[in-house]
């Protein structure tokens, strides 16, 4: 089938008989920062691929030098009727945040993540470079994750707000490491991520694409309907453990996190000193992360 042209995504078919679909996040100049427009296009692409019975596995990767450096913190382009800013009133007339509007916008993005989690296709995130903040969240909603050994996974946004879907960490790795990563916002390598079970495989960068496609093709030996049934089997266990309620509750807390003293200081830094200085203030005590557009 032919695919429509997306502004922020590329879609192609590969593998045996084209039974693998690959979605590429295509904002390399922004390190594939997750803008509202990109996420809405991702939802549209998934809705296009889900009913296609010839697609058995979906690979999600990033163009350029990284998977995704997180949510886009630059002002969103107000294009299209679906833009969150046109639907939810996030600030009052005195430019004070309104919790209901902030929460409503966040829940809409969470619903895209949860659709990706529950789509009736097997999904594999192929990570190189950074899977940071929102990029880390998105990768974790995949069924499987492969990565370059030197890729970095982490969530520095926890240092000034909250997190939404990365609260599935306790369902993926042990409690002690989950708490450590959550309380510090630090990042770990692809190799360590594989060792603690955060991802499935960490390979050399030169082997990453070929081995990911081979893994997808191996899974795709089974037809799409049978794989969908097996996926529902697995996801239902985690859903019964409360993943939906936990993720939506975490989204509420992410919105509430914008009203903490740390978040107010972050906003002051952003407004008075600029984005790079705010990042330096946030990450300086930890001596990690370069100044990249992420949350």
Tokens at 110, concatenated:
């969470």
pLDDT of residue 76: 46
pLDDT of residue 163: 77
State the pTM of this model: 0.88
Cα angle: 245, vertex 246, 250; to 5 degrees: 115
DSSP secondary-structure letter at 197?
T
- Round to whole Å and give the CA distance between 200 and 194: 6
Domain extents for the chain?
Answer: 9-286
Give the Cβ contact number of residue 38 at 10 Å.
22
pLDDT of residue 102: 82
Q: Compute mean pLDDT per 10 residues along the chain, 295 residues long, and list them.
A: 87 97 97 95 97 97 97 60 54 80 86 95 98 94 97 90 78 92 93 97 98 98 96 91 82 84 89 90 84 42
- Round to whole Å and give the CA distance between 111 and 15: 30
- The stretches of 89-172 forming alpha helices (DSSP H) are 99-118, 134-140, 169-172
Residues 6+ away with beta carbon under 8 Å from 225: 53
The domain defined by 9-286 folds into 2-enoyl-CoA Hydratase; Chain A, domain 1 (3.90.226)
pLDDT of residue 78: 44
């Amino acid at each position: 089938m032919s695919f429509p042209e997306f502004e922020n995504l590329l879609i192609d078919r590969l593998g045996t008989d084209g039974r693998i679909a690959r979605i590429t996040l295509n904002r390399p100049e922004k390190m594939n920062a997750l803008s509202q427009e990109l996420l809405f296009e991702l939802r549209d692409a998934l809705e296009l691929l889900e009913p296609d019975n010839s697609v058995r596995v979906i690979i999600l990767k990033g163009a350029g030098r990284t998977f995704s450096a997180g949510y886009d913190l630059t002002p969103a382009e107000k294009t299209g009727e679906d833009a969150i800013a046109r639907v939810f009133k996030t600030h009052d007339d005195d430019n004070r945040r309104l919790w209901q509007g902030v929460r409503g916008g966040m829940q809409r993005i969470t619903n895209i993540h949860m659709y990706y989690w529950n789509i009736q296709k097997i999904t594999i995130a192929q990570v190189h470079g950074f899977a940071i903040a929102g990029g880390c969240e998105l990768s974790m909603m995949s069924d499987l994750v492969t990565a370059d050994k030197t890729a970095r996974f982490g969530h520095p946004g926890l240092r000034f707000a909250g997190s939404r879907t990365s609260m599935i960490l306790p369902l993926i790795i042990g409690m002690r490491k989950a708490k450590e990563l959550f309380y510090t916002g630090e990042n770990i390598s692809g190799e360590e991520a594989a060792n603690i079970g955060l991802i499935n495989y960490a390979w050399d960068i030169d082997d990453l694409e070929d081995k990911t496609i081979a893994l997808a093709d191996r899974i795709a030996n089974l037809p799409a309907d049978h794989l969908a049934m097996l996926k529902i089997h697995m996801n239902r266990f985690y859903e019964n453990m409360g993943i939906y309620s936990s993720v939506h509750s975490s989204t509420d807390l992410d919105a509430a996190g914008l009203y903490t003293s740390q978040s107010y200081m972050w906003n002051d830094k952003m407004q008075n000193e600029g984005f790079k200085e705010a990042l330096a203030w946030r990450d300086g005590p930890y001596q990690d992360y370069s100044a990249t557009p992420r949350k």
